[in-house]
Amino acid sequence: MTTELSPDAPALDGLLEQARKDYDALAGRGLSLDLTRGKPAPEQLDLAEDLLSLPGGRHTAADGTDVRNYGGLQGLPELREIFAELLQVPAGQLLALGNSSLELMHDCLVHALLGVLPGAESRWADQERIAFLCPVPGYDRHFGLCERFGIDMIPVPMTAEGPDMDEVERLVAEDPAVKGIWCVPKYSNPDGVVYSDETVARLAAMPTAAPDFRIFWDNAYAAHHLTDEPAEIADLLAACAAAGHEDRTFVFGSTSKITAAGAGVAFFGSSPANIKWLLANNQKRSIGPDKVNQLRHVMFLKDADGVRAHMERQRALLQPKFETVARILESELGGTGLATWTSPKGGYFVTLTVPDGCAKEVVRRAAAAGIVLTPAGATHPHGDDPRDAVIRVAPSYPRPEELAEAIKGLTTCVRLVGYEQRAAR
Ligand code: PMP
């Protein structure tokens, strides 16, 4: 929560004047900096440079499969073994597929709309209304998928333990049109929240009015730690099975932010019935995934420990950037009462919360000074943050010195807009 300090009027005049001077100086520098998307920096991609020379002439998988040929709809078993542990899905219930988990989420929605999900009474497309719960702040591309397919979005507030479960339980119990919920359970995008064991247990056990309710468990940051204390989350798939809701969960993950973004491997994990359902649908759209890329990932990562060791190298590049962000936010905005921010223990984002009604204007002023941020509101369905307070900061891509400059500039914009708002009261 933003703490309101209320300087007396002359002090506020001075703060505003200084902020205006600082902003004019900032705008005069002709910067061109980009903090928009959570892309890995080139140095992070360089860590997996060896992938480009693999599989280096080898073309057989462990079981002798020729990876150059069609087939193998489930993906290479040895790669599924590596990620089974990291994604908390038994290898037999985990598919290794294309290059993007977002694409898999898209496909699952399309197949649920156009075909009948296990447990469903009819296709979603035949139902009058479909709705998804959207914990906010959340990931804009999840919301984009709902918009694309005419799925209503019901915002649910995030807490420090995950979505507000009282609200979730109430909504899913009373409305059969509520067919799903988006969850980024570890180091969530954008606020870095790690779902508590209690949240996972309640998601698994809650009664839902829809018999075909699905949790879209987007574990995009499963291995993406920024501290010495890697977060663990409870095993939702197992908890759902134990609660008698075996088909409730779709688990997604990918190596996009492990090896190469857009040239990695994506995974889907679920109950045997859901796996069968997706494979049957996939069989119509593909004669098999890119097993050459899967083999090169096996050779490069080797095993789950290999993934962990690689992620330590990623962390060595990322952690200092997150520290830079925290240091500058604290030195420039600490004690002003103009902002609060998250200190994530993993993932790719920092969430900056400014006074209500200020986020859009901060982003606009920053853009005018050459610092491009994710549009304010992107963290909410339809791009509409009702408080206009949340700004998502993505520190990964810029070079360290550019990042420092961009964050310092951003704080100047927060002071300018925040003090202007106070002065206008
Ligand atoms: N889910 C979340 C929560 C993400 O932040 C991202 C990347 N920004 C993705 C999915 C996209 O993953 P992929 O590259 O596997 O499509």
Closest CA to ligand 1's atom 8: 38
The pLDDT value recorded for residue 6 is 59
| Ligand 1 center from residue 257 Cα (angstroms) | 8
- Ligand 1 geometric centre to CA of 267 (Å): 12
**Mean pLDDT for the stretch of residues 157-184:** 98
Q: Is residue 232 over pLDDT 70?
A: yes
Q: What are phi and psi of 112, to 5 degrees?
A: -70, -30
Region 237-256: mean pLDDT is 98
Question: Which atom in ligand 1 lies closest to the alpha carbon of residue 184?
Answer: 3
117-156 pLDDT per residue, tens = 999 999 999 999 999 999 999 999 999 999 999 999 999 9
| Token representation of residue 380 | 């909410």
Q: Which residues of 67-102 are buried (b: 16+ CB within 10 A; e: fewer)?
A: beeeebbbbbbbbbbbbbbbbbbebebbbbbbbbbb
Atom number in ligand 1 closest to CA 257? 14
Q: How far is the CA of 292 from the centre of ligand 1 (A)?
A: 22
Average the pLDDT over 183-199 and give the result: 97
**C-alpha span between 316 and 114 (Å, rounded):** 45
Which atom from ligand 1 is nearest to the alpha carbon of 256? 14
Cα–Cα distance, 355 to 332 (Å, whole number): 16
| 220 CA → ligand 1 middle, Å | 6
How confident is the model at residue 1, as a pLDDT? 39
Cα of 102 vs centre of ligand 1, distance in Å, is: 6
Ligand 1 atom nearest residue 104's Cα:
16
DSSP annotation of 421: H
Domains, in order of start, for the chain: 9-44+308-424 (3.90.1150.10), 61-302 (3.40.640.10)
Q: Is the ipTM of this complex over 0.90?
A: yes
Can you tell me which atom of ligand 1 is nearest the CA of 255? 15
Residue-wise pLDDT tens digits, 344-356: 999 999 999 999 9
Q: State if pTM tops 0.90.
A: yes
What DSSP letter does each residue of 260-297 carry, written as one string?
-TTSS-EEEE--HHHHHHHHHHHHHH-S---HHHHHHH
Q: Is 8 exposed, middle or buried (0-12, 13-18, 19+ CB in 10 A)?
A: exposed
- Strands annotated E in 188-248: 214-218
Widest Cα–Cα separation across the chain: 78
| pLDDT (0 to 100) of residue 7 | 66
* Cα 166 to averaged position of ligand 1 atoms, centre (Å): 27
- C-alpha 402 to ligand 1 mean position (Å): 24
Q: What is the mean pLDDT of residues 308-315?
A: 98
Task: Tell me the per-residue pLDDT of 365-408, one tens digit each, with 9 for 90 and over.
Answer: 999 999 999 999 999 999 999 999 999 999 999 999 999 999 99
∠ Cα 314 319 324 (to 5°): 140
User: Which of 44, 103, 104, 139 to mutate for ligand 1's pocket (most ligand atoms within 8 Å of CB)?
Assistant: 139
Residue 5 has a pLDDT of 56
Question: Could you read off the pLDDT of 318-361 as tens digits, one per residue?
Answer: 999 999 999 999 999 999 999 999 999 999 999 999 999 999 99
- Residue 2 phi/psi, 5-degree rounding, is -80, 130
The residue nearest atom 1 of ligand 1, judged by CA position, is 220
User: Ligand 1 centroid vs 215 CA: distance in angstroms?
Assistant: 16
Residues with CB under 6 A from ligand 1: 38, 100-102, 139, 184, 189, 218, 220, 254, 256, 261, 266
